[in-house]
Amino acid sequence: MTSINEGALLMASIEELSLIIKDLESRVRVCEDEREIRELLSRYGYNADCCRDEEYVALWTDDASYDLSLIMTDSTERNETTHSWRGKTACAISSPIRTATSDPAFTVTACTCRA
């Protein structure tokens, strides 16, 4: 038969283990979240670089926003242009402009995306 002290010690151990398990679950969730974010960024960059526009846009949420600043230079002129799109559909339309930035005449100076 278990004494009262042994029973109290056993309950304390169970409570400690429960706290440890909750902490470990939380830490594992953070690691899983970070992995998912890295995978999303990897797919985003790959699809953007390969001009896979349908796959690229599919990664965006319906409330996506896309801001792009371009400086276009040639031997005589320098023109700065800013483009902004709001919503997944509008961002999908931006794909030809995004693809155009691979032209050496274009330099992307700022591109912020919220997907």
- 75 and 109 part of one domain: yes
- 45 and 7 part of one domain: yes
Whether the pTM exceeds 0.75: the reply is no
Q: How many domains does the chain have?
A: 2
pLDDT of residue 36: 94
Compute the average pLDDT of residues 82-92: 76
For residue 55, is it within any domain?
Answer: no
**Residue 71 is part of which domain span?**
60-114
Alpha-carbon distance 60 to 92, whole Å?
Answer: 9
For residue 40, is it within any domain?
Answer: yes
State yes or no: pLDDT of 62 exceeds 50.
yes
- 44 and 74 part of one domain: no
- 81 and 40 part of one domain: no
Higher pLDDT, 97 or 51: 51
pLDDT of residue 22: 95
Average of per-residue pLDDT values in the chain:
75
106 — pLDDT class (breaks 50, 70, 90) = very low
pLDDT of residue 3: 62
- 72 and 101 part of one domain: yes
Q: Which residue has the tokens 């799109």?
A: 85
Higher pLDDT, 21 or 60: 21
Token readout for 88 is 């997944």
Alpha-carbon distance 97 to 93, whole Å?
Answer: 8
Instruction: Supply angle C-alpha 18, 22, 23, rounded to 5.
Output: 115
Higher pLDDT, 8 or 21: 21
- 42 and 70 part of one domain: no
- 70 and 46 part of one domain: no
